[in-house]
Structures are given as structure tokens and as C-alpha cells.
Chain A
Amino acid sequence: MKLLDCADIGKRPITEFDYLGEIRIPPSDADESTWADYVFNRNGAPGVLRERWYHRPTGRWFIFERDTLTDQIIGQVDASEVRYEEPHYEIPA
């Protein structure tokens, strides 16, 4: 069982976490293709991703940088680094 080493809660087994996937930020006022790209497409190739994990026992979200080829955790990312403003979307006239 893999361990996720977290600065806040220590090393915990990966089975305690729910996986959300790569951090994706919804674009504001996106045209149709940009929006569809956001909703469906993914950076699926092997590489280092910033991913969100929800730790069920503590009810907290964490962000780790992970190499999806080797499964190595490279580091933890502070949520403030990937914070975004609430988007907006006006219906095209």
C-alpha cells in the first residue's frame, strides 16, 4: 500500500484518500471549445501532475505533485498557490 507523505498529517496509506485528479481551473467566459476542453480533456500523458486528494479521516483536501509514471510523490503544494477567482460566464446574446 502506497503512502502519501503529508506535511500536516504525516505518512498515511493511500487508501485513506479519495482521488480527484489533476488540478483544473474553470475558465471564465470560455467559448464552447475551450469549455468542452476544460470539462472533458485531460493531460493524460505520463508526467508530473498537481493532483488533489481528499483525506477521509480528517475531512481535508491536500495537493501533491506526483509523477504518474513512477508514482513518486515529489512534493506537497499549498492550496494558496493554486487558488483561483470564482469564474463567470454570461450567456452569449
Chain B
Amino acid sequence: MPWRLLKFGLKSTHDEPRFFPEAKPLKSHYDVVIIGGGGHGMACAYYLAKEHGITNVAVLEQGYIGGGNTGRNTTIVRSNYLTPEGVKFYDTSLKLFEDLADDFDLNIFYSTRGHFTLAHTDSALRTMRWRAEVNKHQGIESEVVGREEIAKAVPYMDMDCAGHAPVMGALYHAPGSVARHDAVAWGYARGAYNRGVEIHQKTRVTAIRTQGDKVVGVDTDRGQISCNKVISMVAGSTPRITSMLGLRTPIEIFPLQACVSEPVKPFMDTIVVSGSLHVYVSQSSRGEMVMGASVDPSVLHSTRSSFDFVEGLTDQMLDLFPFMSRMKVMRQWAGMSDITPDFAPIMGKTPIDGFYLDAGWGTWGFKATPVSGKTMAWTVANDKTHELIEPFRLSRFADFDLVGEKGAASVGH
């Protein structure tokens, strides 16, 4: 038994320190205001404080810490992207993830499982090879594997897909992992709070005040704040924030749904994704099967669930895992994905001086949490775009200089 547990048991009282501050009034001025208390916002606050010594920071969260997409995703971490810039960015994130538990002294249940993206057509297999080659060239463990190797890792999967679109091969990404999503946000929040950052939950931003093209403050439902730097890290609420400034972006919001089964004893170690079948699945440490599909087909600013989603998902899932027909779906939920035309994020400075954007996370935001926080903190501290996020600048659309992730259009969770 780890000694920490012994310590808990030998004390009669539970005197663990608070993770997060108690609610208190807003100050009239902060050096930096971060809108959005999800993983990204908390990570940015953490790195601002830890690496740049900027602590007069307020994180404003309209709900509760990690209550947006941070707490709604299916927790997959991977770096097997298609473009060199994407690979570099997500690989930095993955490496940060690996050390987060130590960094926080908080177990985020970072669990390396291996990640299979199945190919059911020769064109999908070609795209897999493309991703694998780009990955390998950048030192990322990624390879195209055949049916035999897949069957070794997932012996209970029906490779013939019940006779339709059999599995031809897969992209295997050994570092693919899952983590306890909430704990990531909590760890960053606690670290930021312990370094002096203020975290204000249930605080909704109603306006961003500017003078000329410069940010001067933020209005909230709990009062006004003056500040010269505002970072929007609100994923599915991004258009609501950017429209306050009249800033036009390509972001549209589509719900992304997921569900979990009742818990069962562990049988599945890997993460399996099939773009053709629009399913991805892994088994959580609680024993639940965590399952998702692609985003809903039409714009909606809502986290409602649809029955069509769970019907389609389970139908397709049985092609791969017939025995799951005897399990039960326990709960479904949804997040709001902020989708860009090139499936890459929008990060960094904007035409409005002092307004920084971290958005366009689509269905990939969780895995980018550490690197987004770190690079955005650097960008804000230096008022200069960090080189890792340079390709993701907002102005790329006006310049017709899009990121090539769309080349591998498939489910990419």
C-alpha cells in the first residue's frame, strides 16, 4: 500500500487542502483575464503563473471547472496527425501529459493503451500510410499494421465486420493513451490557484470592452473588470465570445455525442477507432465502455442527446464487437465542438490588440490541453505568437494558407 494511503488512514480528520478557492468578489483589475475554466483555460493560467510569473490573473468560468468539453470528451490522447505541424504540436502535448501527474502531484490516470485506427478500404489504408510516414519521419511511433497484428491485440474483434467492409489494416499508434479528463483540469486549476491565480466559477462574461482596437476590460454578470489582455478559451462558446467583438471566424458549433455502457470487468486494453464505421471505443478504468462517433450533421448550440446517435453507434459497433450486444448503454451526453474548415485549431493573436484566441478545437481539444496552455501562456506573456502555434493563426484563412489536416478526413478522436 502506498504510504499516502496509510497517512489518510492514520489521521482522524480529513484536513486535505482545497483544490480550488471559495467564491469571492472579483477584483477591479487583472493583468490577464482568461475566459473559460476548462482544461485549456486552467492550463494557460497555470503556465502563466509557473513559467512567466504572471499571477494577477482571473479565470472566469460561466459554469464549473472543467464542465465544458473537458468533462465531456472521451479522453483520448494521441499525436498521430497528418501534417508535420500537427504532429509536432500534439507530440509536445503528449510528452507534457506523460509528466503531468508528477508536475501536479495528482494522479491523472494517464494510461498508455495503444491506439488502432482501422482501415476498411484501400483509400483509408493509403491515408493511414501517409499518417504513419509523416509520424515516423518525426520520430512518432506509428505504423500501418495488417490484420494479423490487429487480431493479436484485439482478438475478440470481428475483423470481417459481419461481412461488410472487412478490416484491411490499421494505423497503430503505440503511445495512444487515455487520461482522467476532470483530473487534468483540476490539477491545472489547483496549480494555478496555489500560485495566486483567481478562479471564478459561475461568472459569465457579458461583454468585452475595447478602446479603438484594444481590449480594456471585461463585463461579467458579477461586475466589471479592467484588463489589457483577454484570452478566450471557451471551445463551444467561442462564437458567442468573438461576436461580442465583431470578430468573424470560420468556427461553427456542432454537437459531438458520446455514451458509456454499464461497467464490466476489464477485457479491452486498447483504443479502437473506425472512421468508416464512425465509432471509437475504449474501456475506462471504471470498466465502462466509452464510445463515441462523429459530430452531428447540423449546427446546434446545445448539449442535448439524440437517440439517432446511440442507435447508429451501437449498430455499427456490433459489426466489430458482436458480444457487446449483451451489454447495456447506461448514459449518453454531448459536447459542443467548435469546428474549423481545415480541422485545425485557431490560436494566438487576433486583429484586436490584447485579445487572444484559443479555439477551433473540434473533437481534438482534450489531447491538446497541456500544449495549448503552455503555448498560449507564452504567446500572451511575450505578446508574440509561439512558433508551435504559428500555423494555427486566425489570419491563415484570409491568406488561403490552410493547415492540411483535412487531407486525412476521417474520425480523428
Contacts and interface: CB of A to CB of B under 8 A. Distances in A.
Given a CB threshold of 8 Å, the question of whether A touches B is answered with yes
Interface of A: 1-2, 14-15, 18-19, 21-22, 32-33, 36-37, 39-46, 49, 51, 68-71
A19 B253 contact: no
A19 B239 contact: no
Interface string B294-311: 000111111010111000
Nearest to B342: A40
A41 B246 CA distance: 12
Given A36-B398, A36-B400, A71-B304, A42 B251 contact: yes
B299 to A, nearest CB: 5
A45 B243 contact: yes
Report whether over half of chain B's contact residues are helix, strand or loop; otherwise say mixed. loop
Secondary structure at the A interface, as helix, strand, loop or mixed, is mixed
Contact of A41 (B248, B253, B304, B400): B248
A19 B295 CA distance: 13
Contact of A68 (B250, B301, B306): B301
Contacts, number: 69
B397 interface: yes
A24 B304 CA distance: 27
Interface in B378-413: 397-400
Contacts of B400: 36
B306 A1 contact: yes
B297 A44 contact: no
Interface string B73-108: 000000000000000000000000000000000000
A18 B338 CA distance: 20
Contact of A18 (B297, B307, B397): B297
B249 interface: yes
Contacts of A69: 301-302
B238 interface: yes
Contact of B301 (A32, A33, A43, A46): A46
B249 A21 contact: no
